[in-house]
Amino acid sequence: MKKILLPILGILGLAACSNSETTPLQTITIIAPNGAPALSQVEIAHNAQAEDFTIGNYKVSFETTNGAQGIQAAITAKSHDIIVAPINLGVKLYNSNQTYKYLANITDGNLYLAATFNFTLADLATANLVFFGEGTINQAVVDKVLAANNISRTDITYLSATSDTNAQLVADKNPNTIYLVAEPALSTAKVKLTEQGKTVYTLDVQEEFYEATNGMTFLQAGVFVKAELDKNFVQAYLEALEASIDFVNEDATTASTYATELGITGITPASIPGSNLHFRLASDCKDSLNALVSLNPTLFGGSVNSELYY
């Protein structure tokens, strides 16, 4: 029997080897907005440049897009397997097409109030305020902070993007003005103003939101995956994602180098701590998500669908 069995096993082994060599591995596609959300994937994207790199026996490809419009287009077209998205956009579009489930949260907000004079939260009642993100979750979060501190303002100036508020902060031509700026733009502003001999003073919006909501987190960006993805891959990806975020937070210098090589713009070592990259399973974020939705349900397409969570 042994004389017969061994040749058969040898033939089967050769066949298996031949199949693995001729059948290409499937590729999982990932897309993320440029900046801090893409930074969460930087170790994965860097490693994926190697021909032999796999996650759960799948190849991985990574790309970035500028702004939320590219992310919305990807979700609508169902063009990618994994999409990193602003949390409100991901929830809103799940309510529409129920394709991408909320797998994990990767950023806890990167908003800061900044000025070239030493200020406190109370100064927001009288200072000139120049913010960005009118009608977005950013406004809802800042409005919550103001309301919790009994500050009511109807004269806030809103600009289009953090690049605009950042530019005005750096120009420093408007006295008694407090700006809303996001990382990594804020770190760039600090460098430029330091070169002018000026100091940038900041307040962390995320910390103020935590206080205003009795311990809720500003969930800013999350990972959404197609529900039908191989569960073994998803588990392996989660482990790689957590490792990538740990890597970024532990080695900011190398992470920013990788980001530059991959075309993830604006990232410097100094901007990484304020980008607030933290890994959490979506199932552990339900209370904070409900708190966010309650600020302005319209931004989320109504209530949270109970099937949203992976």
Of 147, 179, 212, which closes a domain? 212
pLDDT band at 17 (very low <50, low <70, confident <90, very high): very low
Of 176, 194, 212, which closes a domain? 212
pLDDT beyond 60 at 11? no
Same domain, 66 and 35: yes
Of 163, 194, 212, which closes a domain? 212
Same domain, 115 and 196: yes
pTM: predicted TM-score of the whole model, two decimal places? 0.89
Same domain, 231 and 98: yes
Please report whether residue 5 resides in a domain: no
| CATH code: domain of residue 147 | 3.40.190.10
pLDDT one-digit tens code per residue, 51-65: 999 999 999 999 999
Q: What is the pLDDT of residue 22?
A: 54
pLDDT beyond 60 at 208? yes
Same domain, 231 and 269: yes
Same domain, 163 and 34: no
Q: What is the pLDDT of residue 24?
A: 78
pLDDT beyond 70 at 14? no
Please report whether residue 204 resides in a domain: yes
- Report the mean per-residue pLDDT for the chain: 92
Domain count for the chain: 2
Residue 23 CB-density burial (10 A; 0-12 exposed, 13-18 middle, 19+ buried): exposed
pLDDT beyond 70 at 7? no
pLDDT one-digit tens code per residue, 20-69: 455 679 999 999 999 999 999 999 999 999 999 999 999 999 999 988 88
